[in-house]
Amino acid sequence: MIKEYAAFIFARGGSKGLPNKNIKLMNGKPLIAWSILAAIKNERIGRVIVSTDSDEIAEIAKIYGAEVPFMRPKNLALDNSPEILSWRHALEYYRNTYKKLPYGFVSIPTTSPLRSQADINDCLDLYELKDLDGVITITEAARNPYFNMVTYEKNGLLNLVIQSPRGPARRQDSKEVWDVTTVAYVMNPKFIIAKDYIFLGRIGGVVIPRERAIDIDTAFDFEIAEYLMMQRSDFEVFQK
C-alpha cells in the first residue's frame, strides 16, 4: 500500500490573542510560511493544503507554495469552532476532489514554528508502526495537577486540581503528566470523518523537547519563539 500523506494547515483570520498572528513576520517570513515550508520539505508528504477564511492568508500561502483550493466556511472559523470540524471539512473536500482519502492526514499548525523535520517524521513513523487512530505531540508539563496546580473552591480557599485523601508529598511521587503541543498531528482520515473527539480513538504521543514545543498564542509567546529561532543561524537547514 502506498503511504500517501496530505498535510493541512489551518489558519483563520480572526485570531484575538495575537491579532493577525498567522501572517505576522517572524524572522523575515509570515508565521504561516514556516509551517508550509516544513510540510513541503518533507519528502513523505504529497500535498500541502491551507484551509483559511482569509483572502490575505490565502494569497500568502500560495506565495510560499501551498495549495488553497477552497475557502473555509465562516461557521468553521469562529473562536469556538471545534478544530476537528475544520479537519473533516478539508478531508471531505479532498475525498470529493480526488475520489479517495489520503493514507494519513497531517496537521502542521502555524503556532509551533520551531519544529524539526525529525519531529514530523517521528509522528509518521509511530502512526505507521502502531496502526493508531492518531498521533499527537507532547512535551514535559511545567505544572502537575496532582501536585502544584490549584483551583479556588466555593469557600474561596485553594485546593489541588486533582485531589487525593493524603496528597503526594513530592512532585516525584505524583503521576507524570504531559502538555499537548501543536508541533504536529497525524490522524487516520476515516477516524476524523467518523468521530468528533480525538481521544475517542487509539492515540499515541511523540515527546518534543520544550525548546521546539513553543505554542504561540500571545505576543509574549511570539517573542520567545522568534528569539529562539534567531539563535539558530542554521534554522532553515535544521528544518530539512
Co-location of 74 and 155 in the same domain: no
* Residues 191, 164 share a domain: no
* Statement to judge: residues 49 and 69 lie in one domain: yes
Looking at the structure, do residues 114 and 12 belong to the same domain, yes or no? yes
Residue 16 and residue 81 in one domain: yes
CA distance to 9, 33, 38, 107, 240, per residue, from 64 (Å)? 13, 6, 11, 17, 16
CB of 183 closer than 8 Å to CB of 208: yes
Domain count, the chain: 2
pLDDT value for 73: 92
CATH number of residue 202's parent domain: 3.90.550.10
pLDDT at 4 over 60: yes
Number of other CB atoms surrounding residue 23 within 10 Å: 20
Structural domain boundaries enclosing 227: 5-137+180-239
Alpha-carbon span 113 to 6, nearest angstrom:
19
pTM for the model stands at 0.90
Residue 145 pLDDT: 86
Does residue 203 contact residue 134 with C-beta atoms inside 8 Å? Answer: yes
Claim to verify: residue 164 and residue 226 sit in the same structural domain = no
pLDDT digits (tens, 9 = 90+) for 82-98: 999 999 999 999 999 99
Residues 151 and 205 grouped into a single domain: no
Same domain, 167 and 48: no
